[in-house]
């Protein structure tokens, strides 16, 4: 559900209800045929994410005659009846958006890696407590929507693992460090819980974004505020947007200071005023490498050290050269 784009709560909830019904039905079919060892993947879910597909699932679980599954079958059947009772024209609008998101995850190279996978070595290593380094480069400039959905699904997958650790009362022996560049591209409804509760399971998250407005556009103002509130350490560098600068300036709180006042007679007096410790234009005028730091240790102004050239360079595939070679061959 992390990859389903929707600004409407009702629309989002219907898509979530539909996905839940599909998964429940598939699980029931697995139990009835004693094939619970076979995992559900996105490709299988996508194959039922339309009106006739749901009717087919409803009929198939209705034929399950196992007495020990009677209650589950009854509940699942009622859920399908509620979903299918909606006008088909209305339901098609919801299922189209849901299906388009699933199709992105099940087609092409992404489908080979994620959509049709029958196992997840990354998750298995995390749950076994073994170390792992995973680098995900989505290529937003090439396919923005596809890249964003993949990023959201990967982080949502990690959040599910963290949730299982959290509910089991366990923590990662070695902190699980999650670095997210261009955070606004991969935020989704519910990622706030990862920021809020992840630290209890030994998760360290570093999210980098260029503007608060970008996150507000995706998860709303309340969601963006909640995410920032659950961020323990904030490092603010120069921004170009006045609204973001005003928001960051508020993090510094207010101070009381004496303001001189000159009277018409030439006398000078002073009065105590209260103003922001950091003014918006201070954030807008930060120089290169300068930053404001807000954390448990206090509030600081600093400047980063000069970065030396990397000792190891990653050589990425030359996509342009590959295309040129194919065209001339």
DSSP string, 98-157: HHHHHHHHHSHHHIIIIIT-S--HHHHHHHTT----------TTT-HHHHHHHHHHHHHH
Structure tokens at 299: 């509030």
Tell me which DSSP letter residue 33 carries: T
Domains detected in the chain: 1-119 (no CATH), 121-232 (3.40.50.300), 237-329 (no CATH)
Q: What is the pLDDT of residues 251-268, one digit of tens each?
A: 888 888 777 777 777 777
Q: What is the predicted pLDDT for the residue at 26?
A: 93
Tell me what pLDDT residue 241 has.
Answer: 84
pLDDT digits (tens, 9 = 90+) for 62-83: 888 888 889 999 999 999 988 8
The residue ranges of DSSP E strands in 223-305, in sequence order, are 234-236, 254-262, 268-276, 290-295, 298-303
Residue 153 has pLDDT above 70, yes or no: yes
Highest mean pLDDT among 88-92, 112-116, 321-325: 112-116
pLDDT tens column, 172-196: 888 999 999 999 999 998 899 999 8
Question: pTM of the prediction?
Answer: 0.77
Among the listed residues 220, 204, 203, the one whose alpha carbon sits nearest the alpha carbon of residue 212: 220
Looking at every residue in the chain, the average pLDDT score rounds to 84
Inform me whether the pLDDT recorded for 327 exceeds 70: no
Judge contact between 3 and 101, C-beta under 8 A.
yes
Cβ proximity of 230 and 191 under 8 Å: no
* pLDDT-based confidence at residue 101 (cuts at 50, 70, 90): confident
pLDDT of residue 22: 92
pLDDT digit string, tens, across residues 12-61: 777 788 889 999 999 999 998 888 888 888 888 888 888 888 889 999 99
């Amino acid at each position: 559900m992390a990859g389903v784009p929707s600004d409407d709560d009702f629309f989002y909830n219907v898509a979530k209800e539909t996905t839940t019904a599909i998964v429940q039905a598939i699980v029931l079919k697995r139990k009835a045929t004693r094939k619970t060892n076979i995992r559900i993947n996105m490709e299988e879910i996508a194959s039922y994410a339309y009106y006739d597909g749901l009717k087919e699932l409803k009929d198939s679980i209705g034929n399950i005659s196992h007495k020990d599954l009677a209650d589950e079958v009854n509940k699942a059947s009622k859920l399908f009846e509620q979903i299918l009772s909606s006008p088909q024209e209305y339901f098609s609008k919801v299922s189209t958006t849901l299906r388009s998101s699933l199709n992105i995850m099940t087609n092409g190279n992404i489908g080979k890696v994620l959509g049709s996978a029958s196992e997840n070595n990354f998750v298995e290593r995390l749950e076994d407590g073994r170390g792992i380094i995973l680098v995900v480069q989505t290529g937003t400039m090439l396919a923005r929507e596809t890249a964003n959905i993949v990023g959201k699904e990967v982080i949502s997958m990690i959040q599910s693992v963290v949730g299982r650790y959290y509910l089991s009362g366990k923590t990662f022996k070695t902190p699980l460090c999650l670095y997210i560049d261009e955070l606004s591209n991969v935020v989704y409804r519910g990622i706030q819980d990862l920021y809020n509760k992840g630290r209890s399971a030994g998760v360290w998250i570093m999210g980098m974004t260029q503007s608060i407005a970008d996150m507000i556009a995706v998860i709303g103002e309340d969601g963006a505020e909640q995410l920032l509130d659950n961020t323990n350490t904030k490092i603010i560098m120069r921004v170009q947007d006045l609204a973001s600068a005003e928001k960051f300036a508020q993090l510094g709180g207010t101070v009381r200071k004496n303001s001189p006042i000159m009277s018409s007679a030439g006398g000078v007096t002073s009065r105590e005023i209260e103003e922001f410790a950091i003014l918006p234009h201070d954030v807008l005028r930060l120089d290169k490498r300068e930053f404001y730091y807000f954390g448990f240790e206090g509030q600081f102004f600093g400047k980063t050290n000069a970065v030396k050239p990397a000792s190891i360079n990653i050589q990425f595939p030359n996509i342009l050269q590959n295309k040129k070679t194919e065209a001339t061959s």
